[in-house]
Structure 1
Amino acid sequence: MPRPWKLATAAGVAAVALLLTGCAASSAADEATDTAASGGEWPRTIEHEGGTTEITAKPERIVSTSVTLTGTLLAIDAPVVATAATSVSDITDENGFFSQWADVAVDRGVEVLYPNLEFDEEAVIAAAPDLIVVSSLGADSALAEVDALSEIAPTIVLDYGADTWQDLAGVLGEATGHEQEAVDVVADFDAHVAEVADAITVPEGTANIVSWNGTENPTGFAKPDGAHATLLEALGFTVEGAPDEFDTSEKPRADFAFIAIENTTESLSGETVFLISADQSTADDLLGTPVLANAPAVASGSVYPLGLTSFRIDYYSATDIVELVESDFA
């Protein structure tokens, strides 16, 4: 494991200078500001889900083994050279890149690291990365390969289930030397959310956020502390999760609980229901399911799809969600 050490931030450098030199603090602060603007001091150690990782220089060739985390890397203008791709579907382009950021990736020349989320160590080596980004959960997780990846290049592990994309942007900004880009994109997004929150009329009562896959599959309910709920709460909704005792997950997640159909009606208690990974046909299917007819939002028809690309939250998909909510509730 890399040797842990505590990174001194630009602000910290300026503060120390002020204590030690008094009037000399001004020039020290200017120098610290210049350092931050150019990407900070290196080497630095990043704390992450997998422990700590030392990064010796500002990365210039970043590889993402998580198609979910790639969107946030692109949003902060990090130099991603290759990303794992998922299976081609109606939520991807022909490369297996998520539709919400596929055009950005193609414009920047991002290559497919390996297709269909089928891990390929040789492909990672061939990409010659100086930083590798891994998810700790989900179908795009390469957590089992972290030891091997760490032999190739500095590797960091992030949890997109427990953390919002804004939180992830902060960690990735520090790891890539794109701190300012991360601060800027988060500030702009949060300001936009606040504007939309002021412009919409939020219905009375609570809301559920649901992944609906028919009566033959468990229903995913967003938890109140997850990324989806955090976004809808920022828009003014009060998100309610499913009762903990109904969760059928073998390994509980921070963002979603998965509920059997026999407990879905009781769990579907909100006056408003938002559907992720969904368009109007998904909403129509849920609304037409007899076993759910007595759920408040189903009875009133207050069911709103958040788009096909809304399951994985990054800057791009979150922006799409906000725009859909604005159009439904303005």
Structure 2
Amino acid sequence: MTPLAHNRRSVMLAGLAFVLLGSSAMAADGWPRSFTNADGTTTEIAAQPQRILSTSVTITGTLLAIDAPVVASGSAGNGKFFAQWAPVAEERGVTNAWPAGSVDIEAVYAAQPDLIVVSVTGADSALDQLAEFQAIAPTIVLNYGSQTWQELAGHLGDATGLEEAAAAKVAGFDAYVADAAAKITVPEGTADIISFNGAGQDNPIARAGGVHAALLQSLGFTVEDPNPEWHSQPNQRADFVWAPYEKLVDLTSATTFILSRDNEGAKAFLEDPVLANLPSVKAGQVYGLGANSFRIDFYSATEIVDGIVENFSK
């Protein structure tokens, strides 16, 4: 028997045992349950998952935050987990299944999952392999791009039976943010959040309705919404405007945050001669939002909040 055939047989037998166990516990714990996916379909989950495979490295952070039993996860395009939660994944023995952009079905069988999590969008989406995943284990589809990590945690709590853990994590974080807001002095005027790539490239600017803006707004900042007509890609987005470099000079905010950079890394924006007349540059109020701030989950959001307290403490 080949390793792949052996893995498939193991998954089938494990799945049968799992269904039998789940059927005996239905009345006691509310299983099975039906989960509504982001694509409008539903997934029947027979019993509370014990072995979760996340195909999306972005979603994995929120699964770990609510203490979901993740056994394997896809990684970023560089083949690594996100730095903000990589130590947690290592501590819990999470297997690195594949880098974003490629899927290893044999690795899925090897993980023996009883729940598979797929993102509907993003570079870490494995939606093209949905039918193959569904043949192995119950598979849920989520859209992390249209919601905060707190909202995502609520959906994952529903799918995993960890509703109370998800609610507690969100409540704890919200209290942490409220405490942080009381410790800082927010500069007057609006703020920008920019993924700064320099001349000759698009420089995505966070929109007021995106998750990055929502986090800053919870701390008391007002985020300037960039002109959606600057967007250089075919489809408009609710979270970012992909703006040409030349449009950055039209921003009016007194404070600028640079995505994926610390304060030292943000100096490239502060020292760019083309941007010298921006209000935030003139005021010297350009800050890194944090090295891990590109994807917002519980871990990176906590890092962002801590960084803002350090920069704006009363």
Give, in whole Å, the separation in 2 of the partners of 1:241 and 1:278. Answer: 21
Per the TM alignment, residue 139 of structure 1 is displaced from its structure 2 partner at its CA by 1.2
Give, in whole Å, the separation in 2 of the partners of 1:238 and 1:67. Answer: 30
Asked if 1:49 corresponds to 2:19, the answer is: no
Give, in whole Å, the separation in 1 of the partners of 2:176 and 2:239. Answer: 24
Give, in whole Å, the separation in 2 of the partners of 1:253 and 1:131. Answer: 30
Question: Which of the numbers 162, 168, 176 marks the counterpart of 2:146?
Answer: 162
**TM-score, normalization by structure 1:** 0.83
Give, in whole Å, the separation in 2 of the partners of 1:213 and 1:118. Answer: 26
3-state SS in 2 of match to 1:161: helix
Asked if 1:83 corresponds to 2:73, the answer is: yes
Taking the TM superposition and a 5 Å limit, the aligned residue runs for 1:202-217 are 202-217=186-201
- 1:11 alignment partner in structure 2: none
Per the TM alignment, residue 178 of structure 1 is displaced from its structure 2 partner at its CA by 0.8
Give, in whole Å, the separation in 2 of the partners of 1:241 and 1:249. Answer: 17
Aligned partner letter, 1:134:
V
Identity %: 53
Aligned partner letter, 1:251:
N
Asked if 1:257 corresponds to 2:241, the answer is: yes
Taking the TM superposition and a 5 Å limit, the aligned residue runs for 1:121-270 are 121-266=105-250, 268-270=251-253
Aligned partner letter, 1:319:
T
Asked if 1:111 corresponds to 2:95, the answer is: yes
Give, in whole Å, the separation in 1 of the partners of 2:230 and 2:268. Answer: 23
**CA pair 136-269 structure 1, distance change in 2 beyond 3 A:** farther
Give, in whole Å, the separation in 1 of the partners of 2:125 and 2:234. Answer: 17
Asked if 1:291 corresponds to 2:274, the answer is: yes
3-state SS in 2 of match to 1:304: strand
Contact 2:100 2:123 in 1 (8 A): no
Give, in whole Å, the separation in 2 of the partners of 1:306 and 1:177. Answer: 34
Q: Give a deviation string over 1:36-65, Cα, whole Å, max 9, x none.
A: 9x9x41111112212221111101110011
Contact 2:258 2:289 in 1 (8 A): yes
Between 220-229 and 272-281, report the one with greater CA deviation: 272-281
How many residue pairs end up in the alignment?
Answer: 287
Give, in whole Å, the separation in 2 of the partners of 1:55 and 1:232. Answer: 36
Aligned partner letter, 1:322:
V
Give, in whole Å, the separation in 1 of the partners of 2:120 and 2:206. Answer: 18
Runs ≥4 in structure 1, deviation > 4 angstroms? Answer: none
Contact 2:120 2:142 in 1 (8 A): yes
Per the TM alignment, residue 294 of structure 1 is displaced from its structure 2 partner at its CA by 1.5
Give, in whole Å, the separation in 1 of the partners of 2:32 and 2:147. Answer: 25
Question: Which of the numbers 56, 62, 65 marks the counterpart of 2:52?
Answer: 62
Q: Give a deviation string over 1:183-213, Cα, whole Å, max 9, x none.
A: 1110000001001111111111111111111
* Unpaired runs of at least 5, structure 1: 1-34, 89-94
| Cα RMSD, aligned residues only | 1.7
Question: Which of the numbers 250, 263, 281 marks the counterpart of 1:280?
Answer: 263
Between 316-325 and 138-147, report the one with greater CA deviation: 138-147
Aligned partner letter, 2:123:
A
- 1:27 alignment partner in structure 2: none
- 2:294 alignment partner in structure 1: 311
Give, in whole Å, the separation in 2 of the partners of 1:280 and 1:203. Answer: 17
Contact 1:212 1:282 in 2 (8 A): no
Per the TM alignment, residue 145 of structure 1 is displaced from its structure 2 partner at its CA by 2.0
Aligned partner letter, 2:224:
E
Aligned partner letter, 1:44:
R
**TM-score, normalization by structure 2:** 0.87
* Unpaired runs of at least 5, structure 2: 1-25
Contact 1:50 1:156 in 2 (8 A): no
3-state SS in 2 of match to 1:46: strand
Give, in whole Å, the separation in 2 of the partners of 1:156 and 1:213. Answer: 35
Q: Give a deviation string over 1:211-260, Cα, whole Å, max 9, x none.
A: 11121221111111111111100000001121011111223332111100
